[in-house]
A and B are shown apart, each in its own frame.
Chain A
Amino acid sequence: MSCNDCNKVGDPRYDELQVYIDSLRDKPHFESYLIAVLHRAQGLFGYLSEETMNYVSCDMNIPTAQIWGVATFYHFFNLAEQGKHTVSVCMGTACYVKGAAEVLETLKKELGVEVGETSADKIFTLDEARCVGACGLAPVMMIDDEIYGDLTPDKVVAIIKKYREKAKGAA
């Protein structure tokens, strides 16, 4: 029994989620599979949006509030879309003194996002970090595990451009 109101016609990911939920429906304690369903949903969509949670709610007959409670309880679930790369600007004292705020402003403008958000092209998620211990290179940002130091607004733009081209080339 699926919910017609929120049947997301046309998005094959919802079809796949539906098939998975239906495969569990006859098991005893069907509702107990909520976490497994959320795992599957995050695997398909990359994160749990309100829309996805509403869909699961209708389909499993569990209140959205309860699903929201579960999704926020466990570290594993992301509630916002994550970019391909995470850009973390170090906000430690040394970096701050050397102009981390300017670096951050440049990134916000260049990516068109606020801290914690993901760029429209889904390539970058912007974050702030505590001291990463590279004070000698201040100001510093990290893209995934790579450290970039001695940054100026111009350098930041150039580095972002490089990642963007590479990501687009791969896609």
Chain B
Amino acid sequence: METKYTITLCDAEFSSEHSIGLKGAFEKAAKANSLESGLRFTTCKTLGLKDKGAIVVVNPGYFVYGDVTEELVNKIVAEHLVGGEAVQENLIKEDHLFNRSFKTFGDSEFFGKQLRIALRNCGNIDPDNIDDYLANRGYEAIAKVLTDMTPVDVIQEVKKSGVRGRGGAGFPTGLKWEFTQRSQADEKYVVCNADEGDPGAFMDRSTIEGDPHTVLEGMSIAGYAIGASKGVIYIRAEYPLAIKRLEKAIVDARNAGFLGTKILGSDFDFDIELRLGAGAFVCGEETALLNSIEGRRGMPRPRPPFPAQSGLFGKPTLINNVETWANIPVIILDGSEWFSSVGTENSKGTKVFALAGKVVNTGLVEVPMGTTLRDIVYDIGGGIPNGKKLKAIQTGGPSGGCLPVEYLDTKIDYESLAKAGSIMGSGGMIVIDEDTCMVNIAKFFLEFTQDESCGKCTPCREGTKRMLEILTRITEGKGKPEDIAKLERLGNMIKKASLCGLGQSAPNPVLSTIKNFREEYEEHINEGKCRAGQCQSLLSYVINDKCVGCGACKRVCPVDAISGEKKEAHLIDQEKCIKCGQCYQVCKFKAIDKL
């Protein structure tokens, strides 16, 4: 008789003797109902439910029972395992939103509006322990796929779920799988893109560090679906802990028979290899990534041919991002119907964001698609610190755009963000307050992409450099009236003519800030003014009548631009001043104005 139910006994909240006792009770009751061969027992460390007494999880279905006693065990066996009906009154349902038990970490605002699918295990399991993953339905999806589903079934399920690429572009994942499956070849590859390079983004790193096996399982499922036996994870060398955890996970998975030959007794062979990047942002672009795995300079290839036809070593290759892979086991286990019930019409499921910048709670958040920016910034993020005013939200990192306050009620999905002038991106989300200069932030992102441009195609290599020169001159107060139009023309040209995603999106931070904050550009150029007070060259420091003549500013000035007798008002020589701001910081009497 095949295993029908998995019973997980949680070990941390009470003594292991108790759990042994419960296991005995389960075995006894099962025997009485002649169920014994249909049960599998696992243990887990903790479920994070401190006040619920002894906990037992029954799978499939992830039914969590609290305060379990031996009497309740008899009831669970009779009603749930035999009768098929869960014992409702003892069930713990943490996720009120969806009436299921994805752990939501209590009722705090930070976690209350989140739904964790990709990050479901992060923080809940010991990432170095395969048993912990198994106790949380780990590798059940690959078992289900190998026993009950054909490759076409798997692809249909992924297609029906509506999941789209979480790396940023949002291409329908199921379609990508189908294209690769239809390509005929003696060898195919499954690749995981873990070359997370956006400044300030760490979604993929956290997923791998917290739950490495889910990535391996997702990739194995794809291997079965498209007919590949080899997987490659391309990960940044800058993530040593993630690399270490993946290495261990791969070895453990091989030893347990989840990777290697004849996986779980089937005819399916699949193994995964790690390849390290070496610090090149452009390698996050899929064709550049393939070149890098092949040991070459990570420069993008023209498409077509797409990787689905000719990818790694010229073979059909399926590339998905870490977060996409982490969603796959859930789609298989809980079904496309449930998955597609979360999210909006064209964007299903959840998205992980790395919330950063001028916001109280920073960190990783995973929210259902369709959540508004306002929910993220104010409810989850806790608003803007120090009573400052929100100015904009930047999504998509150096490839994305800045959305002004008017877009606060924009729902997060691929189309709405694009319509508003930004992109979903891989998940960077930076909150910008009134103290940040929009020209300067556009310059910051462009400096990054300009530096990381691989140099293969002219529009990106030369164009971003010219744009950066113009932006630099604007922030230095040397902008010309025609500069805005020039930036727009150049930016649109680079977008249209560049070879890969890096160049095609590099002008976005500039174009979106021109669109939404044109007046700040105009102020810089026409009035020589930076309203956020960030562009040093445009400032002047002037001493007002609060000056008591203490001489602190005079002493600190590195260029001796301040003069004045003791106890008399001082004066800053604007010719000599280099605008370093030291006097402003040192003055205790607020006697220096930044104009």
Contacts and interface: CB of A to CB of B under 8 A. Distances in A.
Interface of A: 29, 31-36, 38-39, 66, 69-70, 73-77, 93-95, 97-98, 135-136, 138
A74 B278 contact: yes
B198 to A, nearest CB: 15
A34 B293 CA distance: 9
Nearest to A95: B558
B297 interface: yes
Nearest to B294: A32
B244 to A, nearest CB: 15
B246 to A, nearest CB: 15
A159 to B, nearest CB: 20
Given A97-B558, A135-B558, A32 B279 contact: no
Contact of B295 (A33, A75, A77, A136): A33
Contacts of A76: 237-238, 277-279
B578 interface: yes
B294 A74 contact: no
A94 B580 contact: yes
Contact of B297 (A33, A39, A70): A70
Q: Name the prevailing secondary structure of the A interface residues.
A: helix
A138 B296 CA distance: 44
B280 A70 contact: no
Listed from nearest, the 5 A-B pairs whose CB atoms lie closest are A135-B580, A74-B278, A75-B279, A34-B295, A76-B279
Given A35-B276, A75-B279, A93-B578, A70 B295 contact: yes
Given A94-B580, A135-B558, 20 more contacts: A32-B295, A35-B275, A35-B278, A35-B292, A35-B295, A73-B280, A74-B280, A75-B279, A75-B280, A76-B237, A76-B279, A77-B278, A93-B559, A93-B580, A94-B578, A97-B558, A98-B558, A135-B581, A135-B582, A136-B586
A1 B279 CA distance: 31
B349 interface: no
A2 to B, nearest CB: 19
B397 interface: no
B418 interface: no
Interface in B421-469: 454
A4 B293 CA distance: 29
Interface of B: 237-238, 275-280, 292-299, 313, 454, 556, 558-559, 578, 580-582, 585-586
A32 B315 CA distance: 15
A76 B279 CA distance: 5
Nearest to A60: B295
A117 B280 CA distance: 24
Nearest to A136: B582
B589 to A, nearest CB: 18
Contact of A73 (B297, B580, B582): B297
Contacts of B294: 29, 31-32
B215 to A, nearest CB: 20
Contacts of B559: 93-94, 97-98
Contact of A136 (B238, B296, B313, B556): B556
Contacts of A33: 295
A24 B146 CA distance: 32
Contacts, number: 72
Contact of A94 (B237, B279, B293, B558): B558
Contacts of A69: 297
B291 to A, nearest CB: 10
A24 to B, nearest CB: 11
Nearest to A37: B295
B276 A73 contact: no
Contact of A75 (B278, B558, B582): B278
Contacts of A70: 295-297
A136 B275 contact: no
Nearest to A70: B297
Given A94-B559, A94-B578, A136-B558, A36 B313 contact: no
A74 B279 CA distance: 5
A156 B4 CA distance: 74
Contacts of B293: 32
Contacts of B298: 73-74
A39 B276 contact: yes
A81 to B, nearest CB: 18
A31 B582 CA distance: 55
B476 to A, nearest CB: 13
A21 to B, nearest CB: 13
A35 B585 CA distance: 48
Contacts of B580: 93-94, 135-136
B313 A29 contact: yes
Nearest to B559: A97
Contacts of A138: 558
Contacts of A32: 293-295, 313
A73 B585 CA distance: 42
A90 B560 CA distance: 19
Given A29-B313, A69-B297, A135-B582, A36 B280 contact: no
A128 B490 CA distance: 33
A70 B454 CA distance: 12
A97 to B, nearest CB: 5
A118 B580 CA distance: 31
A35 B454 CA distance: 17
B297 A97 contact: no
Contacts of A74: 277-280, 298
Contacts of B578: 93-94, 97, 135
Nearest to A33: B295
Contacts of A38: 278
A36 B558 contact: no
Contacts of A97: 558-559, 578
B276 A36 contact: yes
A31 B296 CA distance: 9
A22 to B, nearest CB: 17
A21 B580 CA distance: 53
A136 B552 CA distance: 11
B558 A39 contact: no
17 contacts: A29-B294, A31-B294, A32-B295, A34-B295, A35-B276, A70-B295, A74-B277, A74-B280, A74-B298, A76-B237, A76-B277, A77-B278, A94-B578, A95-B558, A97-B558, A98-B558, A135-B558
